[in-house]
Amino acid sequence: MQEELLGGLRVWVTASRAPQTKSPRLVVVLLHGFGAPGDDLVALSHGLAVPPGTVFAFPEAPVSLAGVLPAMLLREARAWWLLDLDSQEAALRAGRFEVLTASNPPGLETARNAVVSMLDELQRSHEVSPERIVLGGFSQGAIVACDVALHDTRPLAGLVLMSGTLMAQDAWVAGMPSRIGLRVLQSHGSDDTLMPPALSERLRDLFVAAGLSVDWVPFRGGHSVPQAVLTRLEAFLAHLAPEGS
């Protein structure tokens, strides 16, 4: 594991599982959630059974929550953009999901641009073609990953959305036709109180209607990544890995 500065973001990058390969078979880029430290998802790279030659990259979100959420100071909490938690909770309590699905906070575009720059430099420094990049994340990181995939034009091997949600609906729907055939792994817990499962299901249905290929992984539980999701992620990556490389 090494730390790199890519496109202005601090990124934890694992070594290839197959040292003899000249370039990675897959590069799996996973974005952490709101309030987590930058290395929050790094442990996933140790336990997953992935194709030989797979490299993982874990970018740290650019926004520090130091002084914003005092309870989170001990673990260097980060965010891709600042959330209005009070407004979000009020909308959820009132069942006004349209407030969330139509939301397109200015910070989302800033986060998208940061991730795009990071991907550009990752491709150059690791000599990897975009067709071998799997982009994904958890929670707020999943939202950013989805936003990047539906705005950026580079080909992708796949998209992984763990406990994300539908946001910026008009812009996302407009971008979906450019991703026809893209493989998507999407998971969500039935008891998630932070991001309603119904909105994740709506996003899934929009993907399917637009011609994306969705591997839907519902589970009984809350806002988390259980073993059942990790098992499906292993199979998803195995399917995406190019042959003979």
What pLDDT, on a 0 to 100 scale, did the predictor assign at position 38?
93
Decide if 111 is inside a domain: yes
Residue 84 pLDDT exceeds 80: no
Residue 213 pLDDT exceeds 90: yes
Decide if 245 is inside a domain: no
Of 65-74, 77-86, 93-102, minimum mean pLDDT range? 65-74
* pLDDT, tens only, 122-170: 999 999 999 999 999 999 999 999 999 999 999 999 999 999 999 999 9
Give which of 51, 50, 79, 61 is closest to 8, Cα–Cα: 61
Residue 181 pLDDT exceeds 90: yes
Decide if 27 is inside a domain: yes
> Taking a C-beta distance cutoff of 8 angstroms, is the pair 112, 144 a contact?
yes
Q: Could you give the CA distance from residue 135 to residue 31 in angstroms, rounded to a whole number?
A: 8
Q: What percent of the chain has pLDDT over 70?
A: 87
What pLDDT, on a 0 to 100 scale, did the predictor assign at position 71?
53
Q: Which domain holds residue 119?
A: 2-240
Decide if 210 is inside a domain: yes
Decide if 146 is inside a domain: yes
Quote the tokens at residue 149.
């995939």
Residue 234 belongs to domain with CATH number: 3.40.50.1820
Q: pLDDT-derived band of residue 18, with 50, 70 and 90 as boundaries?
A: low
Number of domains in the chain: 1
* pLDDT, tens only, 26-81: 999 999 999 999 999 999 998 899 999 899 999 999 999 887 765 545 468 999 99
What pLDDT, on a 0 to 100 scale, did the predictor assign at position 151?
97
Q: pLDDT-derived band of residue 25, with 50, 70 and 90 as boundaries?
A: confident
Decide if 187 is inside a domain: yes
The kind and range of the H/E element at 64 are: strand 63-64
Decide if 224 is inside a domain: yes
Beta strands 158-162 and 133-138, pairing class: parallel
Note the pTM of the prediction, 2 decimals: 0.92
